[in-house]
Structure 1
Amino acid sequence: MFGYRSAAPKVRLTSDRMVLRLVYERDSHRLAEYYAENRAFLKPWEPIRDESHCYPSGWQARLGLINEMQKQGTAYYFVLLDPDENHIRGVANFSNVLRGSFHACFLGYSLGQQWQGQGLMYEALQTLIRYMQRQQRIHRIMANYMPHNHRSGNLLERLGFEREGYAKDYLLIDGKWQDHVLMALTDPQWLPPR
Structure 2
Amino acid sequence: MSSQNIPASGLVTHRLTLQTLGTDDAAQLLRYQLENRQHLQPWEPFRNDEFFTLEAIKRRIEGMVHQMNEGNSLHLLIRGADGHAVIGECNFTNIVRGPFQACHLGFSVAASAQGKGLMYEALERAIDFFFGTYALHRVMANYRPENVRSGKLLKRLGFEIEGTARAYLKINGSWADHVLTSRINDKV
Q: Which residue identity is paired with 2:4?
A: P
The answer on 1:72 being equivalent to 2:70 is yes
Alignment equivalent of 1:139, drawn from 134, 137, 140:
137
Alignment equivalent of 2:167, drawn from 166, 169, 172:
169
Q: Counterpart of 1:90?
A: 88
Contact residue 36 and residue 53 of structure 1 kept, 8 A: no
Structure showing greater Rg:
1
The answer on 1:33 being equivalent to 2:31 is yes
Alignment equivalent of 2:121, drawn from 103, 113, 123:
123
The answer on 1:148 being equivalent to 2:143 is no
Contact residue 22 and residue 78 of structure 1 kept, 8 A: yes
Measure how far apart 1:58 and its partner are.
Answer: 1.4
* Aligned-pair identity (%): 38
Q: Which residue identity is paired with 1:9?
A: Q
Closer, same or farther: CA 87–74 of 1 in aligned 2, 3 Å = same
Structure 2 alignment gaps of length 5 or more: none
SS of 1:68's equivalent in the other structure is helix
TM-score, normalised on structure 1?
0.91
Q: Counterpart of 2:4?
A: 9
SS of 2:4's equivalent in the other structure is coil
Contact residue 22 and residue 77 of structure 1 kept, 8 A: yes
Contact residue 76 and residue 89 of structure 2 kept, 8 A: yes
Measure how far apart 1:10 and its partner are.
Answer: 6.0
Cα distance in 2 between the residues matched to 1:34 and 1:53: 13
Cα distance in 2 between the residues matched to 1:134 and 1:52: 38
Cα distance in 1 between the residues matched to 2:83 and 2:101: 31
Measure how far apart 1:85 and its partner are.
Answer: 2.2
SS of 1:143's equivalent in the other structure is strand
Alpha carbon RMSD of aligned pairs, Å? 1.3
The answer on 1:182 being equivalent to 2:162 is no
TM-score, normalised on structure 2?
0.94
Moved over 3 A (4+): none
Contact residue 3 and residue 74 of structure 2 kept, 8 A: no
Measure how far apart 1:89 and its partner are.
Answer: 0.3
SS of 1:135's equivalent in the other structure is helix
Q: Which has the higher contact order (CA 8 A, sep 6+)?
A: 2
Closer, same or farther: CA 15–53 of 1 in aligned 2, 3 Å = farther
Q: Counterpart of 1:3?
A: none
Cα distance in 2 between the residues matched to 1:77 and 1:183: 20
Measure how far apart 1:60 and its partner are.
Answer: 1.1
SS of 1:105's equivalent in the other structure is strand
